[in-house]
Amino acid sequence: MEARRTARTLQVVDTEYSADAVEWCPIDKWHHVLTCGTYQLKNPEEKGSGDSEINKPQLRQGRLYLYCFQQKQLYSPLTEVQRIEMPAILDLKWCHVPMAGYPVLGVANAEGSLELYNLTQNKKNSCSLEPMCSVKLGPESLALSLDWSTGKWHEPVKIISSDSKGCLNLVSLDSSRSTMAVVSQWKAHDFEAWIAAFNYWNTDVIYSGGDDSKLKGWDMRTGTNKPVFISTGHSMGVCSIQSNPHKQHILATGSYDEHVLIWDSRQMKRPLADTHVQGGVWRVKWHPSQEGLLLAACMHNGYHILDCEGALAAGQEGCRILYSYILHNSLAYGADWSRLSIDAQPTSGPWSVPSLLAETQRKKDPEQGTKEAAVKFQHLKIQYESPTGLFDMVVEDEADDYGSRSSSSLQASGASQCPSTDLAMKDQQNFKAGIDWTKKKGDLLATCSFYDHVLHVWKWERNNTVSST
């Protein structure tokens, strides 16, 4: 019997603003809830304005989306239930445990603040996010990341956040959980501190990564004047870190240098495994229940699911890439696993025509709309407006080149000219290959990309094949 791994895109959503963060709710009975954060750079109007208008700083606007996933809705399982306008969002994460009976979402924004939201049930048998409390990290800084201390142990509840001035900020909540305060702030990196994370097994230990290419460890019991270690294992900025919640001492990190490193926190001189994923690694997420599976968002090279079991058990030098999801046409930033249990689907499984293409189809010829919109996103020209502000970029469409792309290159990009037809062909192929659909195991994932402002919800299936009779 041979294992086969495939993915099915269940829905594609246009987030309108550039999407950079997604998180499924980890709390029981709320696993169907998904949040997506966006970051949109707004230029001041230049036409017909004076120098005072031209010299105005660019505005960083954001929008927080709340979605509910219903598997029984075969063709559009994801439904938007709320959107909140706010400063641009650079990171968001759910607390791993409820507070006062409610799930709580933390948001790091471009005004240098951490904001907390309660998720509550409303009268319409749906849910909504309500503001809970907030804290300002410092003047003229961007809050770049956050992590909760609750990945393994639930008390005390703490938050660590990093900012654009290279500082780390340890935040505590009062006993009523109604207010929070910065209890410790220190300079950790020479440039942007892109990421900060707890050691989930010992929350006195904090890890940080910065644009100075350094990975550092801090022990709050010995103070913040000096890190307990400094690693130069990455050759470029370190922008993703996560402690493994299932296996003690295991740490995953990612960098602009396009490498995912797996570490034993007791020995930080050399990583256990080094995997080149051919794209800067903006986020890494361990699987919610399987200790050896790691999801990586790899900027220019899509999303990869890594099998780290060999590195953890047998000391393999690299992790095996089990699957690559490359259907996004822009920078791969946000990624997360859902804890939902996904049932096996029949061969006529769900597929929705991407909503970002549907608008084009309504305005143009139906047969050309999907093709033209998909091709369009492949001709985005990125202009870097700031040498270090990764998100502060402007996108221009090179419209003159749209018609030059052939249909063969469109298919190679992962865009489908006729999703329903393609799916039917795949189903026939699976039937001929003898796939036993009743033995399929599926993981639900969400990923989002920046300049095409797109959110994908997809299912990764590990199938068992059986010989056809």
Q: Is residue 28 part of a domain?
A: yes
The confidence score (pLDDT) of residue 277 equals 97
Asked if 439 contacts 319 with a C-beta cutoff of 8 angstroms, the reply is no
Over residues 81-95, the mean pLDDT reads: 98
Asked if 255 contacts 237 with a C-beta cutoff of 8 angstroms, the reply is yes
Q: In a 3-state reduction of DSSP, which class is residue 93?
A: strand
Cα–Cα dist 108/281, whole Å: 19
pLDDT in tens, 212-231: 999 999 999 999 999 999 99
Identify the helix (H) or strand (E) that includes residue 6: strand 3-14
User: 240-254, 284-298, 337-351: lowest mean pLDDT where?
Assistant: 337-351
The confidence score (pLDDT) of residue 98 equals 94
The confidence score (pLDDT) of residue 312 equals 84
Asked if 214 contacts 230 with a C-beta cutoff of 8 angstroms, the reply is yes
Identify the helix (H) or strand (E) that includes residue 141: none
Q: What is the 3-state secondary structure (H, E, C) of 177-210?
A: CCCEEEEEEEECCCCCCCEEEECCCCCCEEEEEC
Q: Is residue 134 part of a domain?
A: yes
Residue 2: pLDDT over 70? no
Percent of the chain with pLDDT over 70: 74
Structural domain count of the chain: 1
Q: Is residue 180 part of a domain?
A: yes
Residue 398: pLDDT over 80? no
The confidence score (pLDDT) of residue 174 equals 83
Of residues 403 and 180, the one with the higher pLDDT is 180
The confidence score (pLDDT) of residue 42 equals 84
Residue 105: pLDDT over 80? yes
The confidence score (pLDDT) of residue 378 equals 37
Residue 160: pLDDT over 60? yes
Q: Is residue 157 part of a domain?
A: yes
The confidence score (pLDDT) of residue 418 equals 31
Of residues 385 and 339, the one with the higher pLDDT is 339
pLDDT band at 341 (very low <50, low <70, confident <90, very high): confident
Residue 383: pLDDT over 70? no
CATH at residue 184: 2.130.10.10
User: 123-132, 233-242, 369-378, 454-463: lowest mean pLDDT where?
Assistant: 369-378
pLDDT band at 34 (very low <50, low <70, confident <90, very high): very high
The confidence score (pLDDT) of residue 354 equals 38
The confidence score (pLDDT) of residue 177 equals 73
Residue 197: pLDDT over 60? yes
Over residues 274-289, the mean pLDDT reads: 97
Asked if 137 contacts 113 with a C-beta cutoff of 8 angstroms, the reply is yes
The confidence score (pLDDT) of residue 373 equals 39
Q: In a 3-state reduction of DSSP, which class is residue 142?
A: coil
Over residues 242-251, the mean pLDDT reads: 97
Range 284-287 contact pairs with CB under 8 angstroms and sequence separation of 24 or more: 284/240, 284/241, 284/242, 284/252, 284/253, 284/254, 284/260, 285/242, 285/335, 285/336, 285/337, 286/242, 286/244, 286/245, 286/246, 286/252, 287/337, 287/443
Q: Is residue 179 part of a domain?
A: yes
pLDDT band at 463 (very low <50, low <70, confident <90, very high): low
Q: Is residue 212 part of a domain?
A: yes
Q: Is residue 332 part of a domain?
A: yes
The confidence score (pLDDT) of residue 75 equals 84
The confidence score (pLDDT) of residue 316 equals 78
Q: Which of 142, 177, 183 is nearest to 162 (CA)?
A: 142
Average pLDDT score over the chain: 80
**Full domain range(s) for residue 54:** 14-337
pLDDT in tens, 56-83: 667 999 999 999 999 888 889 999 999 9
Q: Is residue 356 part of a domain?
A: no
pLDDT band at 416 (very low <50, low <70, confident <90, very high): very low
Residue 52: pLDDT over 70? no
- For residue 288, what are its two tokens? 């919610």
CB count within 10 Å of CB 367 equals 10
